[in-house]
């Protein structure tokens, strides 16, 4: 960076410091005030909400104008943060290297230890990384508590590399999801290539990964990491008309090999079968490792489309370096095909972090058990059986036990009262009342990090008493050794849910399992696609169900009404359940993705499979996770309601073509 540019941002920073300090001297006298759930926003609240949007849009002039209208707003740290944040990024969300330092450092000092300071430190680290100001980056990074930003982690590795460390292995482990790369990870890849810590193969692998995951702009930017850039025309052809690249054949030079693999990657996204036929004609011109990479990406795209050829193409990918999703789908394809030997070697070839996930520990253990290695299998089942989740439950059953509820830990009224005084909770309540859930969750979750199990349960009970039911669930969900599953699996509105579930022939525990996953009991929950209410019914679906059960046209307010929403949701779930011969797996998937999709997925089965295999091989990640979570919830609700051990496997059943 030029000395002139350094002087520019320092002068700007000093000029803004005085204004920031004047503002905060008034603001620090104002304290956050909680709002009751359902409170009507005041004009000042509305202005604050507009200020938040201005900050999200990185519009500093608009943010300053709005903040000036509410100088005494009772959330002073956010009033200031929403003015600072848009000064750090341009309108496209890129960090500004000329961003002011002094007001940021002042804010971080005055709000040290608060959630909002950690948020601003995250923002500031992106600025410091973009500047390559490693001295100041290294001073701030150890104080970034959440450390949950991939870009910041990339800059941290680049800082270490700038000090002479070899970080290539750490970078390869981190760089697995291009959608989170932003400027920081692109910068890291380029820097490591310049320092010869990344080879051209490493860079090309990252380019293919970006195009495989449809992050095409990121993939194009990564070309800067290549010492020898490919011919622009040849590269453009590989990513825009890949069949032409493959039709030309593969030359002896490395660039030709890399462009052929990139063309296969792009082409396979649209037509794996055609890609396989075309690739077979040129694969012999590649090295054995390159051939395996090509077959791996074809197998991946085919497996997600549930094509019968996926397993055969994947068998040709042994020992190839694949993307994490490609590794996962290779194992899923083997599960669908009933090839337990392949399930085993496929999981064993996964990167260590991926292989350690409960999902793949479970399926690897199943493969060991299938091979007669029961002792080792049981060790692996035991390692995940304590997890209160889908695969923890399945592992418990593999060990010959049923699923039960742990003993209840009760907390006193005094502990609950004390929990209510937790710093941050009042501000969280204000944000929840204004439907600013991102900020509310941040302020609520921040103090939970250092709490004991008893303190967490007291906080969960406090949340229940003030009707923040989603915080009740999420807070109780954090306990490690002392639990209260009546809070973790809370069951409000029992009379309504039980009445409508029983009327529609549904298990009440299934209805609760679904509501817990859909809305976390947030009455005014609304999804990004328009689903609303406790059971997250889409408007068109709600009107269809209402017509079938004789309710007639419904207004938006009626759709969100608790009684009406539960009535519509349970009726719809019952309708889907009856379409799928009483399969909870298929019906749950149909509730989330529409009944047509699980019907299509079922039609591709070459053989009957366990319900757990079907759930794990659902092509949509949202629906896959949804089905597993809903049915895991259902089993715990059943254990609570019925007071006896339960079986997840029995609920999952067996899915036939």
Q: Give the CA-trace dihedral at 149, 155, 156, 162, to 10 degrees.
A: 180
pLDDT at 543 over 70: yes
* 3-state SS, residue 95: strand
Mean pLDDT of 54-59: 98
Contact 295, 321 (CB under 8 A): no
* 3-state SS, residue 320: coil
**What pLDDT is attached to residue 531?**
80
Measured distance CA(333)–CA(313) in Å, rounded? 10
Mean pLDDT of 124-142: 98
pLDDT at 442 over 60: yes
Structure confidence by residue, pLDDT tens digits, 453-480 = 999 999 999 999 999 999 999 999 999 9
pLDDT at 497 over 60: yes
Alpha-helical segments (H) within 32-95: 43-56, 60-69, 76-84
**What pLDDT is attached to residue 38?**
66
For 583, residues 6+ apart whose C-beta sits below 8 A from its C-beta are 577, 611, 653, 655
Q: Per-residue confidence at 93, pLDDT binned at 50, 70, 90?
A: very high
DSSP-derived secondary structure letter, 179: G
Mean pLDDT of 291-299: 98
Measured distance CA(615)–CA(392) in Å, rounded? 15
* 3-state SS, residue 647: coil
- The string of DSSP codes covering 369-405 is HHTT-HHHHHHHHHHHTTSSSHHHHHHHHHTT--B-P
Structure confidence by residue, pLDDT tens digits, 95-127 = 999 999 999 999 999 999 999 999 999 999 999
pLDDT at 28 over 50: no
DSSP-derived secondary structure letter, 410: P
**CA 397 to centroid of chain Cα atoms:** 28
pLDDT at 210 over 80: yes
Q: Per-residue confidence at 557, pLDDT binned at 50, 70, 90?
A: confident
Q: Per-residue confidence at 556, pLDDT binned at 50, 70, 90?
A: confident
Mean pLDDT of 528-548: 88
Contact 475, 466 (CB under 8 A): no
Contact 542, 568 (CB under 8 A): yes
Measured distance CA(151)–CA(466) in Å, rounded? 37
Q: Per-residue confidence at 39, pLDDT binned at 50, 70, 90?
A: confident
Which token pair is 454? 């008893």
pLDDT at 232 over 90: yes
Sign (positive or negative) of CA dihedral 530, 535, 541, 547: negative
Q: Per-residue confidence at 573, pLDDT binned at 50, 70, 90?
A: very high
**What pLDDT is attached to residue 533?**
86
For 18, residues 6+ apart whose C-beta sits below 8 A from its C-beta are none
Q: Per-residue confidence at 37, pLDDT binned at 50, 70, 90?
A: low
pLDDT at 25 over 80: no
* 3-state SS, residue 415: helix
Mean pLDDT score across all residues of the chain: 93
- Exposed, middle or buried by CB within 10 Å (0-12, 13-18, 19+), for 321? middle
Domains in the chain, CATH or no CATH each: 3-148 (no CATH), 413-488 (1.10.1240.20), 494-655 (1.10.530.10)
Bridge-partner residues for 483, per DSSP?
408
Q: Give the CA-trace dihedral at 472, 478, 484, 487, to 10 degrees.
A: 20
Measured distance CA(582)–CA(574) in Å, rounded? 9
pLDDT at 10 over 60: no
Smallest CA-to-CA distance from 489 within 466, 511, 465, 458 is with: 511
**CA 297 to centroid of chain Cα atoms:** 23
Mean pLDDT of 161-177: 98
Contact 173, 181 (CB under 8 A): no
User: Is the model more confident about 24 or about 386?
Assistant: 386
pTM of structure? 0.92
Measured distance CA(84)–CA(29) in Å, rounded? 19
- Provide the annotated active-site residues: 518
């Amino acid at each position: 960076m030029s000395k002139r540019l350094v002087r520019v941002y320092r002068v700007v920073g000093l000029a803004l410091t005085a204004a920031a300090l004047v503002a905060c001297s008034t603001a620090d006298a104002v304290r956050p005030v909680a709002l009751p759930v359902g409170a009507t926003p005041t004009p000042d609240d509305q202005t604050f909400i507009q200020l938040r949007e201005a900050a999200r849009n990185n519009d500093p002039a608009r943010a300053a104008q709005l903040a000036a209208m509410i100088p005494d707003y009772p959330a002073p740290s956010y009033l200031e943060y929403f003015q600072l944040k848009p000064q750090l990024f341009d309108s496209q969300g890129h960090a500004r290297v000329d961003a002011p330092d002094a007001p940021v450092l002042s804010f971080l000092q005055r709000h040290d230890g608060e959630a909002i300071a950690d948020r601003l430190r995250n923002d500031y680290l992106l600025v410091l990384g973009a500047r390559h100001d490693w001295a100041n980056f290294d001073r701030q990074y150890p104080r970034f508590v959440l450390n949950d930003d991939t870009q910041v982690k990339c800059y941290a590795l680049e800082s270490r590399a700038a000090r002479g460390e070899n970080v290539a292995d750490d970078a390869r482990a981190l760089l697995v999801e291009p959608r989170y790369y932003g400027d920081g990870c692109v910068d890291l890849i380029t820097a490591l290539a310049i320092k010869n810590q990344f080879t051209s193969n490493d860079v090309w692998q990252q380019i293919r990964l970006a195009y495989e995951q449809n992050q095409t702009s990121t993939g194009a930017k990564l070309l800067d990491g290549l010492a020898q850039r490919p011919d622009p025309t040849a590269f453009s052809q590989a990513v825009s008309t890949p069949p032409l690249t493959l039709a030309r054949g593969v030359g002896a030079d490395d660039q030709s090999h890399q462009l052929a693999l990139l063309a296969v990657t792009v082409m396979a996204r649209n037509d794996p079968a055609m890609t396989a036929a075309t690739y077979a004609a040129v694969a012999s011109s590649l090295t054995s490792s390159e051939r395996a990479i090509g077959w791996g990406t074809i197998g991946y795209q085919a497996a997600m489309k549930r094509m019968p050829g996926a397993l055969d193409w994947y068998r040709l990918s042994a020992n190839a370096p694949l993307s994490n999703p490609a590794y996962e789908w290779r194992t899923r394809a083997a599960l669908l095909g009933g090839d337990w030997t392949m399930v085993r070697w496929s999981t064993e070839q996964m990167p260590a972090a991926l292989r350690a996930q409960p999902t793949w520990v479970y399926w690897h253990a199943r493969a060991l058990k299938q091979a007669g290695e029961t002792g080792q299998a049981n060790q692996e089942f035991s390692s995940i059986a304590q997890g209160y989740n889908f695969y923890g439950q399945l592992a418990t059953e593999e060990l010959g036990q049923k699923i039960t509820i742990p003993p209840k830990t009760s907390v006193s009224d005094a502990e609950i009262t004390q929990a209510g005084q937790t710093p941050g909770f009042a501000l969280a309540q204000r944000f929840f009342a204004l439907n600013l859930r991102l900020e509310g969750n941040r302020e609520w979750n921040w103090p939970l990090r250092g709490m004991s199990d008893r303190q967490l349960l007291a906080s969960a009970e406090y949340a229940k008493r003030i009707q923040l039911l989603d915080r009740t669930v999420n807070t109780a969900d954090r306990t490690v050794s002392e639990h209260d599953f009546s809070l973790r699996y809370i069951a409000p509105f029992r009379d309504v849910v039980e009445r409508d579930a029983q009327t529609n022939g549904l298990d009440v525990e299934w209805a609760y399992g679904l509501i817990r996953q859909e809305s976390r009991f947030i009455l005014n929950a609304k999804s990004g696609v328009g689903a609303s209410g406790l059971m997250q019914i889409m408007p068109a679906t709600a009107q269809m169900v209402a017509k079938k059960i004789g309710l007639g046209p419904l207004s938006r307010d009626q759709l969100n009404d608790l009684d009406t929403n539960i009535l519509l949701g349970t009726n719809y779930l019952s309708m889907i359940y009856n379409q799928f011969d009483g399969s909870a797996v298929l019906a749950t998937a149909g509730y989330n993705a529409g009944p047509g999709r699980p019907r299509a997925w079922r039609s591709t089965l070459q053989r009957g499979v366990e319900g757990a295999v079907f759930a794990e091989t659902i092509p949509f990640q949202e629906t896959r996770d949804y089905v597993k979570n809903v049915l895991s919830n259902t089993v715990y609700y059943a254990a609570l309601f019925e007071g006896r051990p339960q079986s997840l496997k029995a609920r999952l059943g067996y899915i036939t073509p």
